[in-house]
Chains A and B, each alone.
Chain A
């Protein structure tokens, strides 16, 4: 059987034993349920505010992820582009490459020549950039293959051309150029410069077979092997890519290369810039969502204050039955936290659902246009969920501070007389 305690010591009578948390929780729950409509509207306000923030921020984060994944996902993020500011004195030749290869954390070095030249196909002839690249360089360049088996040039008399070149020589069907012969021409001045031999008095000319077509920007380009140009006397590379073990090694290796007088560039620069832009964007988006949140917070404050006025009598009763200031405060705080927690949870769920729906629609649209890559323009990371929950909890506490304080200071007898 249960027994109520009997007070034996006078001291005990005036010391505190508070209402159990579970009972406070259930009292708060019942009161919120009792005022269903008002609770619903208040929570709805928070749901809209939180939903707006989460929706907008997750859109920003999703877009950022799509863009940065594209960069980070490709190998190019680990490659440092090296060029020479003064090709005549600071030479980007085989010696330099050998040096780069010995730096710690360097995986490999890819190189390419590029010269302005001409491509001649049947009767048409066009200005083009002629690249002599090793396979490593081709792999790192993330070109898109349009015709052919793969982006590779198996022998010195084969080339890959790009679609822009085909356009300038008037070929609209990319497949037509496959296995056709074209002639590459590099004027003798360039040859003298790059070989360091002023005696050369002939243009470089070579007939090659097209084995692939790629999409690589708007200028006409031809890719041949670096060995073809090396054996023809060219010495100084125009561009070298130094590949490091991981993205984190980029900075250190760049410093080393730059100390030799070379110029470097890296997609990490772009990545940093992109991230900066998105950080600003995300704050702006969160700010827009925040306007909704401000309204929600005002709604919550309103609800809690009205609740305080309505329940003055009840609070008076609780105090006259022996509730302490802390009990009353806690009751209000728990109700506020319950309101904001429900708002946060449903807000996050709403934003998530909306994001999913929009993403699905976008995906279907993309699929109907022939894009088969899966993508997601909404991204809700764990830290965002935790952050939002913490944010709403803190907001709830701030909002309830005043009503809770007032409630706990109510004079019980005045409250019981309150109409």
Chain B
């Protein structure tokens, strides 16, 4: 059984999920126990159909488990009523779904604004913030389009923008790079990594791409509805871990940038300088600074609005 500690954000306790179909019962989750540490970059991985999406939906309060508990910061999620869980999602959570969902009558920008609207923001305030969010995923050009007219990959990027727009403490993403090419996939991963390192967001990611596993600080492997936790470091010290992240980012950057425009090592180092010292109890992050750092990060990476994107 997973143990709760002050460092624990989410504790999944003896969660079972059965789907009762006409002819059979599907055991999607079988006695799942694990914890998600605060400010961790947790990756949930496992084969298709193993129960990853079901688990994520349970964690965010959308799929009540057949038995067991999901405890978030000491609060049993399913002891709350549906509206209270909705409030929790509105205030604390950004989610990227495996499939893209939109309000079809609204534009990309308005869709990205939606989490802010749900927190009582005005149209104007929300549009400004949402625009920054779109900029981070390189989708400002499409702000006025209808989301359903975008390609699958573009939709996933907008979906990411929507997940981070309200500056949630917890970001849950179900294969956010599933439809993306390596370049854009890496951009999304960098964004998540930044959010984790610089803004100390807790990330829970489902991915098939095991290359990204090295970005994680915490892993949960799912097999046939059962979870095995692997807390962390592949036996690496935190220094070694930092090194590893740095190397990964460097390779990612090299992949993306044309040779002439590759950033200098100094730039990358300065970029990553904030990354090594997570401040677990520092809840006082101001978004303003955060989003700006992030924005400049995105542009230094050259992934959002550099002209070479066209080439």
Note all chain B residues with C-beta closer than 8 A to A22. 122-123
Note all chain A residues with C-beta closer than 8 A to B102. 314, 317
Q: Of residues 173 to 229 in B, which have CB atoms within 8 Å of A's CB atoms?
A: none
Note all chain B residues with C-beta closer than 8 A to A4. 116, 119, 129, 165-167, 287
How far is the CB of A176 from the nearest CB of chain B, in Å? Answer: 81
5 intermolecular pairs with C-beta atoms under 8 Å apart:
A10-B73, A14-B75, A17-B90, A17-B120, A319-B86
Q: Of residues 132 to 161 in A, which have CB atoms within 8 Å of B's CB atoms?
A: none
Is B101 a contact partner of A317 (Cβ separation < 8 A)? Answer: yes
State the A residues within 8 Å of B (CB): 1-8, 10, 12-20, 22-23, 26-27, 30-31, 33-35, 313-314, 316-327, 412-413, 416
In the assembled complex, B286 has its CB within 8 A of some CB on chain A: yes
How far is the CB of B53 from the nearest CB of chain A, in Å? Answer: 10
In the assembled complex, B2 has its CB within 8 A of some CB on chain A: no
Is B105 a contact partner of A33 (Cβ separation < 8 A)? Answer: yes
Select which of A7, A317, A319, A413 is within 8 A of B63 by beta carbon: A413
In the assembled complex, B104 has its CB within 8 A of some CB on chain A: yes
Select which of A1, A15, A31, A416 is within 8 A of B87 by beta carbon: A15
Select which of A5, A10, A318, A325 is within 8 A of B119 by beta carbon: A5
Is A30 a contact partner of B105 (Cβ separation < 8 A)? Answer: yes
How far is the CB of B81 from the nearest CB of chain A, in Å? Answer: 9
Is A321 a contact partner of B122 (Cβ separation < 8 A)? Answer: no
Is B123 a contact partner of A23 (Cβ separation < 8 A)? Answer: yes
State the B residues within 8 Å of A (CB): 57, 60, 62-63, 73-75, 80, 82-84, 86-93, 95, 97, 99, 101-106, 110, 114-123, 125, 128-129, 162, 165-167, 169, 283-288, 291-292
Given A1-B288, A23-B123, A321-B115, is A416 in contact with B88 using a C-beta cutoff of 8 Å? no
Q: How far is the CA of A15 from the CA of B86 in the complex (A)?
A: 9
Note all chain B residues with C-beta closer than 8 A to A30. 105-106, 110
Q: How far is the CA of A5 from the CA of B291 in the complex (A)?
A: 12
Q: How far is the CA of A31 from the CA of B103 in the complex (A)?
A: 9
How far is the CB of A161 from the nearest CB of chain B, in Å? Answer: 79
The 4 closest A-B pairs by CB, nearest first: A322-B90, A4-B167, A34-B105, A322-B89
Note all chain B residues with C-beta closer than 8 A to A15. 87
Note all chain A residues with C-beta closer than 8 A to B283. 6, 8
Select which of B91, B101, B104, B119 is within 8 A of A416 by beta carbon: B101
Is A318 a contact partner of B103 (Cβ separation < 8 A)? Answer: yes
How far is the CB of B77 from the nearest CB of chain A, in Å? Answer: 10
Beyond the given A2-B125, A321-B162, A322-B115, please list 11 additional residue pairs across the A-B interface where CB-CB is below 8 A: A2-B129, A2-B288, A5-B167, A6-B283, A14-B87, A23-B123, A30-B110, A33-B105, A319-B86, A325-B86, A413-B63
Is B62 a contact partner of A412 (Cβ separation < 8 A)? Answer: yes
Is A321 a contact partner of B90 (Cβ separation < 8 A)? Answer: yes
How far is the CB of B250 from the nearest CB of chain A, in Å? Answer: 31
Note all chain A residues with C-beta closer than 8 A to B87. 13-17, 322, 324
Note all chain A residues with C-beta closer than 8 A to B287. 3-4, 6
Q: How far is the CA of A275 from the CA of B102 in the complex (A)?
A: 58
How far is the CB of B27 from the nearest CB of chain A, in Å? Answer: 18
Select which of B92, B103, B129, B169 is within 8 A of A317 by beta carbon: B103
Instruction: Using CB atoms, name the residue of chain B closest to A412.
Output: B62
How far is the CB of A317 from the nearest CB of chain B, in Å? Answer: 4
Select which of A16, A17, A321 is within 8 A of B89 by beta carbon: A321
Interface centre among A12, A17, A22 (most CB of B within 10 A): A17
Select which of B80, B123, B167 is within 8 A of A6 by beta carbon: B167
Select which of B60, B84, B165 is within 8 A of A14 by beta carbon: B84
Q: How far is the CA of A166 from the CA of B166 in the complex (A)?
A: 95
Note all chain B residues with C-beta closer than 8 A to A321. 89-90, 95, 114-115, 118, 162
Is B120 a contact partner of A20 (Cβ separation < 8 A)? Answer: yes
Q: How far is the CA of A316 from the CA of B95 in the complex (A)?
A: 14
How far is the CB of B133 from the nearest CB of chain A, in Å? Answer: 10
Is A20 a contact partner of B117 (Cβ separation < 8 A)? Answer: yes
Select which of A10, A316, A324, A413 is within 8 A of B83 by beta carbon: A324
Note all chain A residues with C-beta closer than 8 A to B165. 4
Given A6-B169, A19-B118, A30-B105, is A320 in contact with B89 using a C-beta cutoff of 8 Å? yes
Q: How far is the CA of A247 from the CA of B83 in the complex (A)?
A: 62
How far is the CB of B184 from the nearest CB of chain A, in Å? Answer: 23
Instruction: Using CB atoms, name the residue of chain B closest to A316.
Output: B101
Note all chain B residues with C-beta closer than 8 A to A35. 105
Select which of B63, B91, B121, B291 is within 8 A of A322 by beta carbon: B91
Note all chain A residues with C-beta closer than 8 A to B83. 16, 324-326
Is B169 a contact partner of A7 (Cβ separation < 8 A)? Answer: yes
Is A318 a contact partner of B114 (Cβ separation < 8 A)? Answer: yes
Interface centre among B75, B118, B283, B284 (most CB of A within 10 A): B118
Instruction: Using CB atoms, name the residue of chain B closest to A310.
Output: B104
Interface centre among A2, A20, A313 (most CB of B within 10 A): A2
Q: How far is the CA of A162 from the CA of B52 in the complex (A)?
A: 103
How far is the CB of A329 from the nearest CB of chain B, in Å? Answer: 11
Note all chain B residues with C-beta closer than 8 A to A327. 118
Q: How far is the CA of A379 from the CA of B114 in the complex (A)?
A: 47
Q: How far is the CA of A246 from the CA of B215 in the complex (A)?
A: 94
Q: How far is the CA of A8 from the CA of B167 in the complex (A)?
A: 13
Instruction: Using CB atoms, name the residue of chain A closest to B146.
Output: A34
Q: How far is the CA of A416 from the CA of B98 in the complex (A)?
A: 11
Q: How far is the CA of A167 from the CA of B285 in the complex (A)?
A: 106
Is A19 a contact partner of B117 (Cβ separation < 8 A)? Answer: yes
Note all chain A residues with C-beta closer than 8 A to B63. 413
Instruction: Using CB atoms, name the residue of chain B closest to A319.
Output: B86
Q: How far is the CA of A22 from the CA of B110 in the complex (A)?
A: 14
Q: How far is the CA of A23 from the CA of B165 in the complex (A)?
A: 17
Is B106 a contact partner of A27 (Cβ separation < 8 A)? Answer: yes
Q: How far is the CA of A17 from the CA of B88 in the complex (A)?
A: 11
Interface centre among B119, B125, B162 (most CB of A within 10 A): B119
Is A3 a contact partner of B288 (Cβ separation < 8 A)? Answer: yes
Q: How far is the CA of A310 from the CA of B206 in the complex (A)?
A: 30
Note all chain B residues with C-beta closer than 8 A to A18. 120
How far is the CB of B8 from the nearest CB of chain A, in Å? Answer: 14
Q: How far is the CA of A3 from the CA of B286 in the complex (A)?
A: 8
Note all chain B residues with C-beta closer than 8 A to A5. 91, 119, 167
Interface centre among B92, B97, B105 (most CB of A within 10 A): B105
Note all chain A residues with C-beta closer than 8 A to B57. 413
Note all chain B residues with C-beta closer than 8 A to A326. 83
